[in-house]
Structure 1
Amino acid sequence: MQGEKHKADEAAIRRLDEEWGKAASAKKLDAVVGFYAHDGSLVWPGEPAVHGTAHIRASWKKMMDTIPGLNLRFTPERIVISDDGSLASDFGKVEFGHEVDGKPVMEIAKYVVVWRKEKGGWKVLYDSYNMNTEA
């Protein structure tokens, strides 16, 4: 948590993380894509990096269409806002719920998201995650 200077920005990003997870879980493709900057990038495991709205939409559509029971919940653990308030890094965990053979499964992943302030609001510039492994 940062000082008072960026308290409102940090709170806004925490709200966006919650809304983003709900939109993804409800398979609201347009809403999910709306969280991203037009020149945003996805850097997801096992997939080539993609850039721009059309490719982000295609990647999310593929996830929504091929993962039954998709349910995401982002829990930010550390948000750091740049001094000038134009960029923010958001590190945390994501609960990744889905179904395997019709049975619910919950996996935990780590994520790093870089947000950029655009027209007074925050948009995702870079979205990256990786799954935790069990020891």
Structure 2
Amino acid sequence: MIRSRQVQLVFILLLALLLGTGFMHGKSLEKDRELVEGRNQIFMETYKNMDSAGMAELYTADAKLLPPNSETVEGSENLESFWQATMDMGITEVKLHTGDVERHGNALVEVSSAELYGEDGALIDKAKYIVIWKQERGTWKMYLDIHNSNMPVE
């Protein structure tokens, strides 16, 4: 009888440990998502302020931006030029909609969507994107950024 009670206690403790780990994992995912949402808010504000230099600062020093129909963009100056050219095209606002966020080792992987608006507030494009985030000097920044349009090719 005592042996049976010990087995039950061990089972209950293991179950509690497993459930607690799952709960903590859920909390971790929630924190990661909130972190990415916060960084995305900074992205949207920086873009709306037409701050191409600020946009470049949102990326790691070794970042790669892979835009559609274009070569890979690397380096702070090139990132700044890319974002300035985007702004010069008449895209005045980018709205990001955070989708899935998962942690993989020391990186966060985001799979989300975006809407691009013009000067008159008209929707110009809808897109999807993947960003791999990593920390650089204590700040989460974009390391790999790839996006493409949902709109049909004309």
Q: Which runs of 5+ in 1 are unaligned?
A: none
Instruction: Name the TM-score, length of structure 2 as normaliser.
Output: 0.75
Q: Which has the larger radius of gyration?
A: 2
**Matched residue type, 2:100:** R
Which residue in the other structure is 1:104 paired with?
122
Map 1:1-135 onto structure 2 (within 5 A). Answer: 3-65=26-88, 67-82=89-104, 84=105, 86-99=106-119, 104-134=122-152
Q: How far, CA to CA, are the matches of 1:129 and 1:5 in structure 2?
A: 26
In structure 2, the CA distance between the partners of 1:103 and 1:70, relative to structure 1 (3 Å rule), is closer
Count of residue correspondences: 129
Q: Which runs of 5+ in 2 are unaligned?
A: 1-24
Per-residue displacement from partner, 1:68-96 (whole Å, max 9, x unpaired)? 242101111101112x3x10111111011
In structure 2, the CA distance between the partners of 1:103 and 1:16, relative to structure 1 (3 Å rule), is closer
Per-residue displacement from partner, 1:97-133 (whole Å, max 9, x unpaired)? 125xx67334210011110112322011011111103
Q: How far, CA to CA, are the matches of 1:56 and 1:40 in structure 2?
A: 9
Higher-RCO chain (CA-CA 8 Å, sequence separation at least 6): 1
Instruction: Name the TM-score, length of structure 1 as normaliser.
Output: 0.84
Instruction: List 4+ stretches of structure 1 deviating above 6 A.
Output: none
**Matched residue type, 2:111:** F
Per residue, is there more helix in 1 or in 2? 2
**Matched residue type, 1:80:** E
Per residue, is there more strand in 1 or in 2? 1
State the superposition RMSD in angstroms: 2.1
